Amino acid sequence: MSVLVRGVERRFGASAALRAVDLTVSAGEFVALLGPSGSGKTTLLRILAGLDIADAGTVSIDGEDMTHIPARLRRIGFVFQHYALFRHMTIFENVAFGLRIRREPPREAEIVQRVNGLLERVQIAELARRRPDQISGGQRQRAALARALAIEPRLLLLDEPFGALDAEVRKGLRRWLRDLHRDLGLTSLFVTHDQEEAMELADRVAIMRDGQIVQYDTPEALMDRPVNAFVAGFLGDAARLPAEWDGTSLHFSGAQLPSLPASALRLAPTRPGPAVAFIRPHEWSVTAQEETNATVRSRHPVSRGVRLELSIGEYVVEVELPASPLRPGERCQLGVTAARAYDVG
């Protein structure tokens, strides 16, 4: 089930929620819409679902123009952030709801068989007769997903599907959802503000800002080759330092750091002049020398070793190392092993 979005725009009064958005999703892909609050992620998802109407542009699903197709006829499953389960219904009836309201609903025996099968698949069959307020948040999310799948959707849309859950439950459900997507051969799009979630689940990620998609690529490509300073700063932890690019080396401004040759840059500015450099915690070197340029402010353990917070000049940066004897208050020599740099202005 492929999706093609071309030139979609949406305004709310004087504010543009979406501006000339283009997006292509191949059949069977799992795509994340990632960006800060107000970037247009949920608006785009609602337009795909038919719950909102674009002011301009087109949305096609499997080559069919959806412009005049109402939401109830699009066969799209939608999972809301806060589940939107009917409180007065059992979990079984919630999942069966979409089947019962069809113009030509299936026979009751078929409804029972399909709903029970879905509850088994999402691993909450034993909760069929309970109401939503009698089960946990993670179980409600599974019930909401089963309800979305009951109509055998052509496309599955999820809006912050794990946003209301605690970290440990989210982690388990992410793996489970990825396996379910693969096993059922779904085409899925989900909105999230959680970078780890997007990188773990999605085949491709669309980074949104101010109603536009600024980069759309695989998680690996986004991390290795951010298209601009916004994406580089938005994804992952990175120190942001002003610099000057002379065409062969990057010279840091305001920080007493050695210059970085072009060979060490993962991305270089396009022209000589002012630049901004992004350096991730593992892209620093820390050594003990007679000459020092940094002071350790704090340290704490992380899963891959130790993270140091250091002050250098007027800046504070974070460094991750497999191990380090350095303690708060001690001095060291800080260097840069790699960076991504972009033109300023």
pLDDT above 70 for 87: yes
pLDDT at residue 133, rounded to an integer: 92
134 three-class SS: helix
For residue 61, how many other CB atoms are within 10 A of its CB?
21
- Using pLDDT thresholds of 50, 70 and 90, give the confidence band for residue 31: very high
Name 324's Cβ contacts closer than 8 Å, sequence gap at least 6. Answer: 286, 299, 305, 306, 308
pLDDT at residue 164, rounded to an integer: 61
Which CA distances in Å does 305 have to 108, 240, 288, 311? 58, 23, 18, 20
Burial of 289 (0-12, 13-18, 19+ CB in 10 A): exposed
Q: Which residues pair with 67 in a beta bridge?
A: none
Structure tokens at 96: 């069966």
318 vs 308: CA distance, rounded Å = 6
- 154, 74 Cβ separation under 8 angstroms: yes
Residue-wise pLDDT for 127-172, tens only, equals: 999 999 999 988 888 898 899 888 888 899 999 877 666 677 677 7
Pairing state between β 339-343 and 273-279: antiparallel
Structure tokens at 286: 């820390």
pLDDT above 70 for 287: yes
The average pLDDT across 190-202 equals 90
The CATH class, in words, for 3-229 is alpha beta
Burial of 182 (0-12, 13-18, 19+ CB in 10 A): exposed
pTM: 0.85
234 vs 113: CA distance, rounded Å = 46
Longest dimension (CA), the chain: 82
* pLDDT mean across residues, the chain: 92
Domain span(s) for CATH 3.40.50.300 in the chain: 3-229
